[in-house]
Amino acid sequence: MAIITIGIDLAKNVFAVHGVNESGKAELVRPEVPRAKLLELIANLPAKA
C-alpha cells in the first residue's frame, strides 16, 4: 500500500519521520533523520498511483 500521510517531528538537527498507509499501518518509521538527509528521504518516496 502507498503511504498517504507523513508526519515530521521538527527539531534543530535531527527529525523523526513517520508515514502511514490507508489502513493506518506504519509504512515508514525513521526515528532519526539528519537535517541534510530529510529532503532526499522525502524525494525518494514512491509516488501515489
Q: CA 1 to CA 29: how far, in whole Å?
A: 15
> How many helices (H) and strands (E) in the chain?
1, 3
DSSP H or E segment with residue 3? strand 3-9
- The C-alpha atoms of residue 18 and residue 15 are separated, in whole angstroms, by 10
Percent of the chain with pLDDT over 70: 94
pLDDT per residue as tens digits for the range 19-38? 999 999 999 999 999 999 99
Cα(11)–Cα(15) distance, rounded to whole angstroms? 6
34 burial (CB, 10 Å; 0-12 / 13-18 / 19+) is: exposed
Q: Flag whether the pTM goes above 0.85.
A: no
Q: Which comes out higher in pLDDT, residue 36 or 1?
A: 36
